[in-house]
Structure 1
């Protein structure tokens, strides 16, 4: 479990996954058309982290997201915790022509990196990269629910992260 405390572990993937999935528009703002429209606000939920030794651990998360009026850019703040570790993630993500780009940072591990991929109105497929770490990310959202799947490809003993979040 020592890999969970290394800068290149889970923080990067969670930051991207949750940051991409959660924007909200004000009822007084222009009608948003971007893939992040309707995601802003407070989100909570949880899921599991699977490790390469075959074990898994439950995780709980709280997130706050702010989305621009067009629904194509978001800022996120995410806190997740389990019995053995804690994450504090921030991110800035935007979409143009279906292409996702952005940056993330994880405060407790002093890690950061870039995000790139594709987005539609209900799904994001992306890759997150940082020093010694990379992962595939899939975020699916529908109404007040979203599911996040992170599959690290290098830099950690984590094999999968699966989270479900609800708004409100």
Structure 2
């Protein structure tokens, strides 16, 4: 059994769906195309677009993608000769990179601890809970960040839109009744943004790796000048 068949059967068992009759491109297609690329071709197909773009088990859509790849393989075999395997590799890797930078990977509930430095007091230990809710897949999400210490509370709400790697949106802090705009970038899951309001400006960094996240905010002169939190995802 090929790696393609194993992967398709595994996907079917997870969702209970039946695979399409069309399936994925056969190993024979790659062997006739360029012998030394058979293994690489199977691996690329097995790990490329369908599972990511459907985010489920839409085998009909996967079948359409497979057919497109087959047609391009046959066309490029005639037009590009020995360069075709490289072209196909690029084609298959592109869909993965399209969504590598989106905000959907933040979705879920995160909890952790950190510190908060008020402008008029010592640094305080805080407990935090962040909830990221996807509004439009690959395009926008809402953030609700609640942190509390013995003396202070931070209740930050934000909605963030993404266009390419550019971020924009609005934020509002409920305890101190302040709000404003957000601008920034998302670079491979690492968010760097600037939040601005009538009386506050801050730099925010959100670095995420799998189910671990580091959140920091630096706002010189604001009512809370520094926030630093380490969190783990507890619910997706």
Cα separation, 2, equivalents of 1:128 and 1:98: 17
Instruction: Extract structure 1 runs of 4+ deviating beyond 6 A.
Output: 29-32
Say whether the 8 Å CA contact 1:40–1:65 is kept in structure 2. yes
Unaligned regions of 5+ residues in structure 2, if any?
A: 1-54, 59-95
Cα separation, partners in 2 of 1:61 and 1:147, compared to 1, 3 Å: same
Q: TM-score, normalised by structure 1?
A: 0.73
* 1:132 aligned to which of 199, 202, 215: 199
Higher relative contact order (CA 8 A, sep 6+): 1
Q: Larger % of helix: which? A: 2
Q: Give the corresponding residue for 1:164.
A: 230
Q: Indicate the structure (1 or 2) with the bigger Cα radius of gyration.
A: 2
Determine the structure 1 residue equivalent to 2:185: 118
Choose which of 122, 132, 150 in structure 2 pairs with 1:83.
150
Shift of 1:84: 0.6
What RMSD over aligned residues (CA atoms) do the two structures have, in Å?
A: 2.6
What are the residue-to-residue correspondences of 1:97-108 with 2, within 5 Å? 97-108=164-175
State the number of aligned residues: 142
Q: Normalization by structure 2: what TM-score? A: 0.54
Trace 1:29-68 onto structure 2 (pairs within 5 A).
33=99, 34-51=101-118, 55-68=122-135
